[in-house]
Amino acid sequence: DQQVKQNSPSLSVQEGRISILNCDYTNSMFDYFLWYKKYPAEGPTFLISISSIKDKNEDGRFTVFLNKSAKHLSLHIVPSQPGDSAVYFCAASITGANSKLTFGKGITLSVRP
């Protein structure tokens, strides 16, 4: 049972435009959400997170939006840069439940120069 779903396996955008990466979850107990970026042959790098008490968190070019009623979150990258090309994983956890992360399968973002 895939509790965190990233339904689009890939996304291609033009440099300078906005990248929107989507993520859906099914477990209403999740209360902390994170986005990780991963280059080939490297470990995931933490990007940004959001708790369920918020609906938006912004850090530079990265903004995460959370819609709890729809069990949906999205990562916006603006403006997109070629160096943003990577696999992006959405992850969710339940505070107090050992904080283990449940990951989606990832989205491959390609930013065209």
Partner 1 sequence: NAGVMQNPRHLVRRRGQEARLRCSPMKGHSHVYWYRQLPEEGLKFMVYLQKENIIDESGMPKERFSAEFPKEGPSILRIQQVVRGDSAAYFCASSLRVMKGDLSGNTIYFGEGSWLTVV
Q: Are the beta carbons of 106 and 22 closer than 8 angstroms?
A: no
Q: Contact with partner 1 (CB under 8 A): which of 1, 28, 99, 113?
A: 99
| Minimum distance of partner 1 from residue 77's CB (angstroms) | 19
Spatial separation of the C-alpha atoms in residues 79 and 73, rounded to whole Å: 19
| Minimum distance of partner 1 from residue 67's CB (angstroms) | 18
Ramachandran angles phi, psi of 97, nearest 5°: -95, 50
| Binding positions for partner 1, 24-53, rule CB under 8 A | 31-32, 34, 36, 41-46, 49, 51
